[in-house]
Structure 1
Amino acid sequence: MMAMPDSDSEDELPPGWEERANDDGVVCYVNQQTKTTQWTHPRTGRSKRITGDLPLGWEKYYDEQSQRFMFHNKETKQCTNIDPRLAFAVEEPTLNISQVRQRFDSCSTALQILHGKDLHGRVALITGANCGIGYETARSLALHGCDVIFACRNSSSTAEAIERIAQERPAARARCRSVALDLGSLRAVQQFVEEIKQSVGHIDYLILNAGVFALPHTKTVDGFETTFQVCHLSHFYLTLQLESLFDHRTRIVVVSSESHRFANLPVENLTVQHLSPPAEKYWSMMAYNNAKLCNVLFTQELAQRWKQRGISVFSVHPGNMVSTQLSRNYWFYRLLFAVVRPFTKSLQQAAATSIYCATANELTGLSGLYFNNCYFCEPSKLSRNETLQKQLWTLSERLIHELMDQPT
């Protein structure tokens, strides 16, 4: 964003702007007129962070009623949600991924990344959280105090998953709940969103983890090829429908795959037949590759569209051939995954990159990036094509509108 002209005081905020700090101490700027948020000063274009301890006599606490952190002055009895250290915020270098030091790698686990973090008061919504990488992601967050919504189709499997976490940490039971979500139906997604909005006022971490792999050619109740709808279209719809629950504190993590590098979607004239092919043109592996490319394309375009709101969006590769239920649909892949199991990541390691992108302080203000092994890497050239990003967005919107405008 272009910096505004200097005023008498370069650091003075323009009318209608307010300065706040998030729980990690990064300063954000809120435009009260447009209701947008950004991480850089509207005049200087620079970012700030608050450091050090609270001033003498101040304490920070979590208010259950407002569900936010508050600051209390024990001498004056003043309570406020504005961090008193804002007056002493210091400038930081311009946000740039090249300046982020790599702290973790392929061997790191989700729990190692969360070591020392208190996620009390944070809310995570994770699709496919009842098993595999999604379960380890949900478990890791819940063990560190986060409220976790398990968005899954199989209610009994989800109940068992929550019970396993409760046995490990009884206090976590109250922080985990299941809300049924069938990604094979856009109307089911709509019903899920309505239920979430009735019970949640804000989402801190949206982790789009659910996926399918190696399916025979099947169609959803909406008439789309299943891999395409479950991995992309329903997640696309879910994210846009939940928009009112997001703000500058929100991070969206889209679980993609290195398989996106082998996709074959055309750069020009993208059609529904490319995304949801008929049986005679269907190959399960290519359907998966293309769906994972859609994940990265969606991430890049969403990051551009929501950058003025300060919402961070990342896509991630969890690991190669991790032992999950993803391969359950075809005996050959079950055998192959079993053979390579000793050489692949554990589920805790596979969940690490999603956890890192959701919670790492150093990523505040960054967006639209692709991560592998807890660090940024360049996605495929095809995924960086802006024309294809916009084509996919437009086509996805059209498919949803055409179906949802039909009478039930």
Structure 2
Amino acid sequence: MMSLPDSDSEDELPPGWEERASDDGVVCYVNQQSKTTQWTHPRTGRSKRITGELPLGWERYFDESSKRYMFLNKETQQRTNIDPRLAFAVEEPTLNVAQVRQRFDSCTAALQVLHGKDLHGRVALITGANCGIGFETARSLALHGCEVIFACRNVASANEAIDRIAQERPAARSRCRAVPLDLGSLHAVQQFVTHIKQSVSHIDYLILNAGVFALPHSKTIDGLETTFQVCHLSHFHLTLQLESLFDHNTRIVVLSSESHRFANLPVENLTLQHLSPPADKYWSMMAYNNVKLCNVLFAQELAQRWKQRGISVFSLHPGNMVSTQLSRNYWFYRLLFAIVRPFTKSLQQAAATSIYCATANELTGLSGLYFNNCYFCEPSKLSKCVALQQQLWQLSERLVSDIMEQQVK
């Protein structure tokens, strides 16, 4: 580990570092040389927070041209993107999940989580945002000023979803747009990434929401079992390809399920056949359980790899048997979901945990947690297996590399 230059002041930043404040008042530290960020002071290892009102004569405003919050000294007309309260930041205890107070529960709706929040200037990218939980997530963010990219295979359906939001809040139309994304093709994912990088400079919320359930055995254009590629591998590739658009303000939210507790992936010698089984070894329910475990494993490993950059990664369970289009592929599940509908969450309630993970101030600086009902809980023992996390990552990398190389040929 590289040693820092000596200093007379323990609190003095090393050369090439600077302080910035997040919108919720937590101080982050930027290494200009490596272009990385972290939530703890590079010398002391402690965290800071700014508190109180702006100094007399200062005001905070959103600058439409730069798409960021600025600070104005009304007396001198000085404008800056640096919060003047940084000079008075105070140390706070090391960020600890045990200190997070539960504010919401299973009955909370997504719009309740966002009550009082102004998300102008924030950019969200949501896969599968045209219907179900993804739509309610997108709608809730858009109604609070967020720019939302609807990443969907069915663009016509996504545009209809945007129309519904615009009927409710006409100003939201200019903040929403549909971009085609077919998660059944890594080539399509790459085309999507190229378009996004040309159109936005930063992503605040990446919400990996899209998924399939109860599919009969089928293969994607890339030759992999569909449930595995759509729910995990394409999201894995999408996230890594968008890395340059993420910073310490970014949160990555991965929708998993309590079904991950019933997965049967081996701890050792994980192979492609376990993840993308042939037809004679395929059972749709186990394929779903296993891919939901992949979601948590991916989130845990990504959180570790990007921890020093200050990027937060969370996985979650939205709710049991929520009435969405997820069950449309098999009559038995359609019937079962219809029977339990009166006893399950509404779509607004199911979207609440995604919204909470993306926007809650108290989660700033935390990462790698699993949530249910807007509060953290322990994921399965298997999902916390570091060896399995790393095996899945390495296997996913190889699969993506092999498929992309074949397409070049």
Tell me if TM exceeds 0.5: yes
What letter corresponds to residue 389 of structure 1 in structure 2?
Q
Secondary structure of the corresponding residue to residue 405 of structure 1: helix
Secondary structure of the corresponding residue to residue 125 of structure 1: strand
Note the 1:5-404 alignment, pairs <5 A.
7-404=7-404
TM superposition shift of 1:8: 2.2
Q: 1:119-143, CA deviations, whole angstroms, 9 ceiling, x for partnerless residues?
A: 0000000000000000000000000
CA distance in 2, matches of 1:373, 1:222: 36
Secondary structure of the corresponding residue to residue 126 of structure 2: strand
Query: In the comparison of the two structures, how many residue pairs are matched?
Result: 408
Secondary structure of the corresponding residue to residue 150 of structure 1: strand
Q: 1:142-181, CA deviations, whole angstroms, 9 ceiling, x for partnerless residues?
A: 0000000000001111111000000000011111100000
Where do 5+ consecutive residues of structure 2 fail to align? none
TM superposition shift of 1:2: 11
Secondary structure of the corresponding residue to residue 239 of structure 1: helix
TM superposition shift of 1:356: 0.2
% same residue:
86
Cα distance, 1:168–1:35 mapped onto 2, change above 3 Å:
same
Note if contact 1:124-1:149 (Cα within 8 Å) is conserved in structure 2.
Answer: yes
Note if contact 2:120-2:147 (Cα within 8 Å) is conserved in structure 1.
Answer: yes
CA distance in 1, matches of 2:70, 2:218: 51
Note if contact 1:301-1:389 (Cα within 8 Å) is conserved in structure 2.
Answer: yes
CA distance in 1, matches of 2:316, 2:198: 30
Secondary structure of the corresponding residue to residue 14 of structure 1: coil
Secondary structure of the corresponding residue to residue 30 of structure 2: strand
CA distance in 2, matches of 1:2, 1:294: 34
CA distance in 2, matches of 1:288, 1:392: 16
CA distance in 2, matches of 1:209, 1:224: 20
Cα distance, 1:239–1:322 mapped onto 2, change above 3 Å:
same
Q: 1:31-68, CA deviations, whole angstroms, 9 ceiling, x for partnerless residues?
A: 11111100011111111111111111111111122211
CA distance in 2, matches of 1:2, 1:343: 56
What letter corresponds to residue 378 of structure 2 in structure 1?
E
Secondary structure of the corresponding residue to residue 148 of structure 2: strand
CA distance in 1, matches of 2:256, 2:364: 21
TM superposition shift of 1:4: 6.6
Q: 1:208-258, CA deviations, whole angstroms, 9 ceiling, x for partnerless residues?
A: 000000000000000000000000000000000000000000000000000
Where do 5+ consecutive residues of structure 1 fail to align? none
CA distance in 2, matches of 1:166, 1:385: 45
Secondary structure of the corresponding residue to residue 165 of structure 1: helix
Note if contact 1:204-1:251 (Cα within 8 Å) is conserved in structure 2.
Answer: yes
Note if contact 2:5-2:14 (Cα within 8 Å) is conserved in structure 1.
Answer: no
TM superposition shift of 1:7: 3.8
What letter corresponds to residue 393 of structure 1 in structure 2?
W
